[in-house]
A and B are shown apart, each in its own frame.
Chain A
Amino acid sequence: MISARGVSRSFDDGARGAVAVLDQVNLEVAKGEFVAVVGRSGSGKSTLLNVLGGLDTAYAGEVSVAGRRISGLTDAELARFRNREVGFVFQSFHLVPGLSALENVLLPSLFAAQTTPRARGQQVLEQVALGEKAARLPSQLSGGERQRVAIARALLHSPSVLLCDEPTGNLDALTADEVIGLFSRLNREGLTVVAVTHETRLRDAATRVLTLENGRLDLP
């Protein structure tokens, strides 16, 4: 499902010059896997996720997702790829404040070539047990509910892979358990999940755990 070969990424850090965040990373994720990527803060976990999701393109190496080589795609092609093949879930939810839960879920459809029916948005909201709160604004939802709306948004176009960046980082333990349970269920239903996390319970729920250290991936 995901193949990364020799991926390197560095950032210009002013006085220190170029700092390598990812250094010759190789990674293979099979379809239906639930992979947790762990590592210390600043170890490059989020950068790896952004590279895999086509959000960061300034890297060296080759990345393929769902059988498609994304290295070298144009901006428009990458946008289509993110829209159809990838679902992002962020630590801070990143919902649009003025939109209802349903409208937030339908946000990807605004950038899709084909129109997505509102019923599909309602369907994914029900999938995350928020069908009754479709009309609520983000400010009227709890943290756990907001994250579930964000997960529903990621699921709208039935992506090949769910990329989660510290998805439980802003949630209390009980709510985090609910969200982790949701990821496990989605994974059991066949969805490939890659999550970068510090969260032990999320790591425990994964089928494979990878450790990123000093920009290098420690494969088990």
Chain B
Amino acid sequence: MKLASLQRLVRLNVARDIRGALSSTFGVTVGVAALVFFVALGLGVGAIIREKVFPVDARLVEVVPSQLSLGLLGGGKIDQAAVDRLTALPGVTEAYRKMNVRVPAVTVYDGDFFGRKLRMGLEIIAVGVDPALVKADVQIGDFSDPGPGQPIPAVAASRLLEIYNKTFAPARSLPQLSGSMLAGFMFPIDFNRSFVTAAPAGPIVSAQGQVVGVSDRGLLAGITVPLAVAMRINRAANVDAESFTAVTLRVKEPSAVPRIVTAVKGMGFRVDDQERRMAENAGAAVAITTSAMALLSVLICILAAFNIAHALSASVRARERELAVMRAVGASKRDVFSLVFAEALLLGAFGGLVGTVLAIAAAAAVDFASSRALPEFPFKPESFFIAPWWLLLAGVTLGVVAAMAGAFLPARRAAQLDPARALAGQG
């Protein structure tokens, strides 16, 4: 049978019982809609966790000193020699050193803060890093040590800015800030001063800090400054300015990370993968929930396939004589099979398409309701959903596959129909 003829007959049969056709596709529509909706939700929430809440770069390995020294085997402090050995590991492309500012510091701010009056004192934790680690996010200068008496370049963590915008600022009626607004902001820093520990020995050294950018790699609860600045401040305070707090290794491929981790541990150092583990745990929780909902959706589609099988079986029984006449005027068994099967395909594709569109509409409705009804919270996205092209295609395909599965037996039964008996009314 020619394709045009098949299309003609399928259109005719579907149009003859449009209500029955819609009823058959209802289950497929619901199943596909649920699948696309929940998988898109899982992808969206997973992306928020990966990119916003725990922005972990899979190619970075954070090396920290071991809590106990292994003597001749190494370990203990990370000095420049250790950094050189880590850099020489096969697969490591770069090593970014980090050193905490090892003297206490506070900021006491009293002045204009983006159009509002702000009076606040905060303990400051600062870490110095090799500039290359955050260079891509620096908007002012080259993130080098400007020297004593000059404003210290500081990079803020993007997550800290998010928490400020979503919780602190609304609670204190402070303005919402963006990274570009914050760049250039000056604030005072008093080194060798603390609000929480006993007053350290030595005089308070006052300086100015200047926010030069916002970065995912910035210290979450503090500021990130150039490594040379941290070393200079530590040296001036007569504290350790030689050993590093941590080294971030960049490896060529994420697949090489386990091997690097093993080598690092073999050298007597530890790998700080707490954040990565939290990201993985959160990601796994989302993946499990998404999989459960996707499985439920597939189960709905399987039930829908049974429904289609039932409806098509009834339809074939009702049309036995008509199908027999078709056989009499030249339809082969294959033609009859194709006809019934193509009807199901059309219904499945329609159900899949409608289900996919419904899922997208439901996702848009949830996003709209979220933007209106949900209070602001850190990392609250504009959309909770990601619906890539393959998911939309998978939705339509699932509808078609469910219909095909449901149609197979009725189509085969129709093809095997004995036309002579059916025409005699004995089908």
B133-141, B161-169, B221-229, B418-426 - the one binding chain A: B418-426
Give the contacting residue for B1; candidates A55, A78, A90, A110; CB below 8 A.
Answer: A110
Q: Which residues of B contact A182 (CB under 8 A)?
A: none
Q: Which residues of B contact A111 (CB under 8 A)?
A: 1, 5, 326, 329-332, 335
A80-88, A172-180, A194-202 - the one binding chain B: A80-88
B103 in the interface (beta carbon within 8 A): no
A55 touches B335 (CB 8 A): no
How far apart are B336's CB and chain A's nearest CB, in angstroms? 10
A82 touches B330 (CB 8 A): yes
B328 in the interface (beta carbon within 8 A): yes
Complex Cα distance, B320 from A25, in Å, reads: 29
A47 touches B8 (CB 8 A): no
Give the contacting residue for A107; candidates B329, B333, B423; CB below 8 A.
Answer: B329
A76 touches B328 (CB 8 A): no
Interface residues of B in 1-39 (CB under 8 A from A): 1-2, 5, 8-9, 12, 15-16
How far apart are A8's CB and chain B's nearest CB, in angstroms? 15
Instruction: Indicate with 1 or 0, residue by residue over B293-331, a CB within 8 angstroms of chain A CB atoms.
Output: 000000000000000000000000000011011111111
Known: A55-B327, A88-B329, A107-B329. A94 touches B334 (CB 8 A): no
Q: Which residues of B contact A110 (CB under 8 A)?
A: 1-2, 5, 8-9
Interface hub of A79, A112, A115 (most chain B Cβ within 10 A): A79
B322 touches A56 (CB 8 A): no
Interchain Cβ contacts within 8 Å, total number: 77
How far apart are A115's CB and chain B's nearest CB, in angstroms? 8
How far apart are B413's CB and chain A's nearest CB, in angstroms? 16
Known: A96-B322, A110-B8, A111-B335. A80 touches B330 (CB 8 A): yes
B335 touches A94 (CB 8 A): no
Give the contacting residue for A88; candidates B1, B328, B335; CB below 8 A.
Answer: B328
- Measured as residues with beta carbon below 8 angstroms from the partner, the interface class of chain B is 20 to 34
A50 in the interface (beta carbon within 8 A): yes
Interface residues of A in 83-108 (CB under 8 A from B): 83-84, 88, 90, 92, 94, 96-99, 107-108
Interface hub of B12, B325, B328, B331 (most chain A Cβ within 10 A): B328
Complex Cα distance, B423 from A219, in Å, reads: 27
Complex Cα distance, B16 from A196, in Å, reads: 34
How far apart are B172's CB and chain A's nearest CB, in angstroms? 72
How far apart are A161's CB and chain B's nearest CB, in angstroms? 13
Give the contacting residue for B321; candidates A94, A98, A153; CB below 8 A.
Answer: A94
Complex Cα distance, B419 from A46, in Å, reads: 12
A112 touches B332 (CB 8 A): no
How far apart are A135's CB and chain B's nearest CB, in angstroms? 16
A215 in the interface (beta carbon within 8 A): no
Complex Cα distance, B379 from A216, in Å, reads: 89
A79 touches B332 (CB 8 A): yes
Complex Cα distance, B419 from A47, in Å, reads: 11
A83 touches B419 (CB 8 A): no
Interface residues of chain A, those whose CB is within 8 Å of chain B, are 46-47, 50, 53, 55-56, 75-76, 78-80, 82-84, 88, 90, 92, 94, 96-99, 107-112, 115, 153, 165
- What are 19 sample pairs from A and B whose C-beta atoms fall under 8 A apart? A50-B419, A50-B423, A53-B328, A55-B423, A75-B334, A79-B331, A79-B333, A82-B328, A82-B330, A92-B321, A94-B322, A96-B322, A98-B16, A107-B329, A109-B5, A111-B1, A111-B5, A111-B330, A165-B423
Interface residues of chain B, those whose CB is within 8 Å of chain A, are 1-2, 5, 8-9, 12, 15-16, 321-322, 324-335, 418-420, 423-424
Closest 9 CB pairs between A and B? A83-B330, A79-B332, A111-B330, A110-B5, A108-B329, A50-B420, A56-B420, A94-B325, A88-B328
